[in-house]
Structure 1
Amino acid sequence: MSTTTEAVGSTGELRGNWQAGVLGGVAGALVMGGLVLAMSPPVLAVAIPSLYGLAPPPNPGVGMVVHVSHGAVLGVVFAAIVGAAGIEGATRQVGLGVAWGVVTWIGLAALVMPVWLSVVGSPASPPFPNFAPPSLLWHAVYGAVLGGVYAATADRL
């Protein structure tokens, strides 16, 4: 006797391309990291590695590794949003990327990071909330690069 089981309905498969999300997240974080280094090196050298007890002393290399890792993870979340919302077209994906960058700025950089740095006793702990305009620029650029790389690679990976 043989039995066959078939899944009926939704397969639970997301339409977003997580690999393109990782690639876009890494590229966006690298570009953003370059801006941070040019505009405010202590953010990358002290604040970001302090999140995990990796500074002081200042270490921009470790900060960049942590930052790019965050960018990759947030790129996967972006890919899931693209897939769940069915966002198609490069212009819409770049626009969503910029919006995602702003959301991460509000939620993570302005609200979570100051609390986290204060809890771990970082010397780079900013005030809460920390709605710093340069950080908004950096996160918007991250999102634009993320969205652009995602749009360029999602159908190829």
Structure 2
Amino acid sequence: MATETATSIGTSTEHSTWKFGIAGGLVGGVVFGAMMSMMMPAVMEGAIPGMYGLSGGLAGWFIHMSHSAVLGVVFAAIAEIRPELAASTGSSVGAGVVYGIVLWAVLAVIVMPIWVGAVTPAEPPFPNLNFQSLVGHVAYGALLGGVYAALRE
């Protein structure tokens, strides 16, 4: 007589918030990427792919969206550690905006110009205080926080 064992695979929203971070990061990344493609095409076509020895808009978009997803997971991890930051839609959007500003200050203002200058012939300004980039990072963060909150509810 044979016995059967049934297994069920369930997901807990508690342990899959990283997926919400990816989703929010991708939504924010699409909007921010569109803004960059229109306002700063040289960044999307040259600087971003240049950090990895590549060139062109398709490579720039792929890398930008990959960064957006990974940084969305980092946001979700922070929200798990500090749940009050994402306790409501408003607080999550606010946390996302602050997160976007921090990303801009650290990654766009400091890290990216050093990295691009080290691996390409370009000589980006340092620090790279670009207002359009700040606006894009804020939009990214707000959308990340909003999508994250909407999916958690």
Change (3 A) 1:16 1:83: farther
Aligned partners of 1:16 and 1:82 also within 8 Å: no
Q: 1:62 aligns with which of 59, 62, 83?
A: 59
User: Which has the larger helix fraction?
Assistant: 2
Query: Is the counterpart of residue 81 in structure 1 residue 78 in structure 2?
Result: yes
Contact 1:15 1:84 in 2 (8 A): no
1:121 is displaced (CA, Å) by 2.1
Whole-angstrom distance in 2 between the partners of 1:63 and 1:153: 28
Partner of 1:8: none
Give how far 1:154 is off: 2.2
Q: Equivalent residue for 2:119?
A: 120
- Listed as ranges, the gaps of 5+ residues in structure 2 are 1-13
Paired-residue identity, %: 45
Residues in 2 aligned to 1:66 and 1:122: alpha-carbon distance in whole angstroms: 20
Cα distance in 2 between the residues matched to 1:103 and 1:132: 14
Question: Are the aligned partners of 1:16 and 1:79 in contact in 2 as well (CA < 8 Å)?
Answer: no
- The CA deviation at 1:40 is 1.2
TM-score between both structures, scaled by the size of structure 2: 0.86
Provide the TM-score with structure 1 as the length reference: 0.84
Structural RMSD (CA): 1.4
The answer for unaligned runs of 5 or more in structure 1 is 1-13
> Structure 1 segments of 4 or more deviating over 4 A?
none
How many pairs are equivalent? 138
Q: Within 1, Cα distance between the matches of 2:107 and 2:48?
A: 12
